[in-house]
Amino acid sequence: MNQDKTLICKDCGAEFIFTASEQDFYAEKGFQNEPQRCKPCRNARKNGGSGQRELFTATCASCGNEARVPFQPRDDRPVYCSDCFSRQR
């Protein structure tokens, strides 16, 4: 039976717990190595270190309300708020 282990994150140097259930999961999946990063550093690495996605403000072409979109709006293409966009589909 596995016991919780305290490991050191190789990115930030913080201590984190490698729980017994996580160890069981790793063994079940056949992973040979223990994790080297804490959860926040793993998440940052998965997200490419970008953190939050940049949102742009535009005016909805249908209702005229403000819309927040994850792309740079262009003048030649209409932009819709989420409500109007779902009605378009």
Q: Please give the pLDDT value at position 50.
A: 58
Cβ within 8 Å of residue 11, ≥6 positions away: 37, 38, 41, 45
Q: Which residues pair with 8 in a beta bridge?
A: 15
Q: What is the pLDDT of residue 80?
A: 93
End-to-end CA distance of the chain: 53
Does pLDDT of 5 surpass 90? yes
CB burial of residue 67 (10 Å; 0-12, 13-18, 19+) = buried
pLDDT for the residue numbered 30: 95
Mean pLDDT of the residues in the chain:
89
Q: What tens digit of pLDDT does each residue of 41-75 get?
A: 888 888 775 556 788 999 999 999 999 988 899 88
